Amino acid sequence: MVRRSFYKCLRIAVTLLVTSYIPVYAQSLTDDQVSVVSQRLAEGATHSWEYGTRSEVLLEFGAPTYSVLSSSPVPPPLQIPSDLTSTLSDVFAIAHTIVANRSISNGNITGPQPLIQDSSAGDPASIGVAVLLANWTGQGSVDGLDYAGAARDQLEYLFQKAPKTNDGAISHRMDQVQLWSDFVYMVPPFLAYYGVITQNETLLQEAYNQISLYRKYLRDTHANNIWKHIQLGSYGTDNGHWSTGNAWAAAGMIRVLGTIQRSQYANSFKSQQGDLANWVREIHGGMYPHLDSSGLFHNYADDSTTFLDASSTALLASTVYRLSLLWGVHTYLPLAELSRKSLSALAGANINISISVTAKPSTTTTSSSLSTSLPMLHFTSDGWLIPVVNPYAYPDQGQDSPEGQAFVISMQAAWRDWVADGSKGGNGSPRGMNPGMGAWAALLTGILVAWFGVW
């Protein structure tokens, strides 16, 4: 056990050492390649959480002023700038379609109800931020829909209709009390945004409370604090450490952290912000020691017999960049960079972390395919991310994953914002430090991080 732990530590430390010499402007997807990825997402999103995730990444990448992960305040401007009209129209189109059809979807009931009918209690709430944003910017005065009422019904559905544990954790499922790690991305960001928009501090606190409760049930202290996927219930539990589930949880916490930090409640919620940042670091610390040398995670992080999964890899990398931006934590940036470079590599490339192609974020001619003359290692010719978990059967490998497409966009947006902020921590050494000293510091950091990550 000690021998295996030592070699794992050494492998991760060497990875950090070598990546400390790599320029942060390594190979990257162009804006037009991201556009193709986004087109596939738009075509493939048909489930509640896919609509919600798509609306979120559209904000992160195309309208950061209206994202909780930018430096802009929350709530955002009431008046939409002309240069954001196109991107926001896609977000509002999702909100419009959902709200316009919710009565039919829910059997024409009145009162507390989800935004869209679903066997999950949590997933429909993922669309809630888009609905709240549509209301905030006055879309109802244009199309006559009651966005405020739809958001309120969704909120009351969570508190009045969804099952709960004895200590108040809202169930992710309607048929039984059961907690899924996915929930942290779906519900707490909606609660937090609702709280800030309506100046309801109690709701903002509840977003934090739900995360804390889910962590209590799902964190596995015997596996270096990575999260189990599904707990409680008489059937359907999953004690495994599903990589996408850990990424969902970290990304949800990042969104709540950003919402609080950019709001008028930042000063009064300092301890909650510190907890959220530390809990994201906790997941990073448990997950990244299991990163495969290819730069990808296995579907179950600590089970190398499961297939490699690019979708969870992309989302977790996005949370590393965001934690650096929001909280100044740079520990796992070299490994997030390794993952991003791997996901952006050309087909046939050996993923060699000592080789890099210098390329800043750029644009090219729009195409309906990702690349024909230069096929990509982790994308099909028409722009679908590979390899990916089946989003509808999580133990299995899938083909087309709308959520995987969204995760790529989230990663790209986070990386772009991190680069624009100066790529802090990207080379494994503080600015001004002698490069040789920085490399040795990265090696020492890698050994310490890896050792405590696997021990």
- In this predicted structure, what is the pLDDT of residue 355? 34
Write out the chain's pLDDT in tens, 455 residues: 445 555 555 555 555 554 444 444 447 899 889 999 999 999 999 999 999 999 999 999 999 999 999 999 999 999 999 999 999 999 999 999 999 999 999 999 999 999 999 999 999 999 999 999 999 999 999 999 999 999 999 999 999 999 999 999 999 999 999 999 999 999 999 999 999 999 999 999 999 999 999 999 999 999 999 999 999 999 999 999 999 999 999 999 999 999 999 999 999 999 999 999 999 999 999 999 999 999 999 999 999 999 999 999 999 999 999 999 999 999 999 999 999 999 999 987 776 543 333 334 544 444 456 654 468 999 999 999 999 999 999 999 999 999 999 999 999 999 999 999 999 988 653 333 333 334 444 445 555 555 544 44
Sign of the Cα pseudo-torsion (36, 39, 44, 49, in order): positive
Over residues 183-212, the pLDDT tens digits come to: 999 999 999 999 999 999 999 999 999 999
Name the token pair of 204: 């903002």
Give the DSSP per-residue string, 119-169: SBSSGGGGGHHHHHHHHHTTTHHHH---HHHHHHHHHHHHHHTS-B-TT-P
- In this predicted structure, what is the pLDDT of residue 28? 87
Rounded distance between C-alpha atoms, residue 159 and residue 91, angstroms:
26
Beta strands 179-180 and 230-231, pairing class: antiparallel
Rounded distance between C-alpha atoms, residue 257 and residue 281, angstroms:
13
CB-CB contact of 84 with 65 (8 Å): yes
